[in-house]
Amino acid sequence: MPTYVVRDTTVMLKRSLRHILRSPDTIVTTAVTPIAMLLLFVYVFGSAIDTGGGRYVDYLLPGILLITVASGIAYTAFRLFTDVSGGLFERFQSMPIARSAVLWGHVLTSVVANVISLVLVVLVAVAMGFRSGAGVLAWLAVAGILVLFTLALTWLAVIPGLTAKSADGVSGFSVPLIFLPFISSAFVPTGGMPGPVRWFAENQPVTPIVNTVRGLYAEQPVGNDGWIAVAWCPGLLLVAYALAMRTYRSKIA
């Protein structure tokens, strides 16, 4: 019933948005860790880090935004896991609804929740002195990159959401994602890292994405990093989506 895809997805989206409204703590806890890192690095370690001029908070914010997304998607996995373990997922699957609506409802909710968390983090950064002269187009480009990144990580989160055996297992998967930005240009320039670490840092997706967002905020040309980031985000999204759908199909038999 393809005609019902949009209608059913809207109903499912409305349902999980209600979940978020009734547990706003999930958005606050998502934002707490990145905000704590922001405070710690700007006010404690920041003075010892040489980024080659400029405010450190301006340098740090893009990486913190990616960490916000990585910690936010754990809740998406958890909400999906709750549906699966509680039997609601099977109820929906046994009903005459567009089957993809069940997953899309959770995925779109993840985007909404993460956008709210991201706005919170940016507001704290502004209070700490973050400033950008970026125009509307640059902000839109940043928003686009972050939404694509959120979608990619969310589809990745769908996999443990569908397959986890316990609530602990479901949230554990996001820990490596939160730490990935540490081995990138998010906190310190990659130039000072030893050979293999530097190679990894410069060739993993976080670095070009962080550099691009940083460039957009600083009104600098993003150059090659921009194209690499533009390739990574949809690329990650496609791979994550394909893996999630494969898991989903094996789940519903």
Partner 1 sequence: MTTTSAIEIAGLTKSYGDHSVLGGVDLTVPPGTVYALLGANGAGKTTLVRILATLLRADGGTAAVHGHDVAAEPARVRESSSLTGQFAAVDEILTGRENLVLIGELRHLEDAGGIADRLLARFDLTDAAGRRVATYSGGMRRRLDIAMSLIGDPPVLFLDEPTTGLDPQSRLEVWKTVQELAGQGTTVLLTTQYLEEAEHLAHRIAILHGGRIIAEGTLAELKRLLPPATVEYVEKQPTLEDIFLAVVGSDGSDQ
Q: Rule CB under 8 A: which residues touch partner 1?
A: 1, 4, 7-8, 11-12, 15, 18-19, 22-23, 86-88, 90-97, 252-253
| CB nearer partner 1, residue 36 or residue 88 | 88
| CB nearer partner 1, residue 4 or residue 43 | 4
CA 2 to mean position of chain CA atoms: 29
Q: Which residues contact 166 (CB under 8 A, 6 or more apart)?
A: none
Report angle CA 74, 7, 9 to the nearest 5 degrees: 10
Min CB(215)–partner 1 separation in Å: 41
Min CB(158)–partner 1 separation in Å: 19
| CB nearer partner 1, residue 11 or residue 36 | 11
| CB nearer partner 1, residue 104 or residue 200 | 104
Min CB(82)–partner 1 separation in Å: 8
Min CB(151)–partner 1 separation in Å: 24
| CB nearer partner 1, residue 7 or residue 246 | 7
Min CB(156)–partner 1 separation in Å: 24
**Contact, 124 vs 35, CB < 8 A?**
yes
Q: How far is CA 18 from CA 28, 121, 139, 180, 218, in A?
A: 16, 22, 28, 31, 37
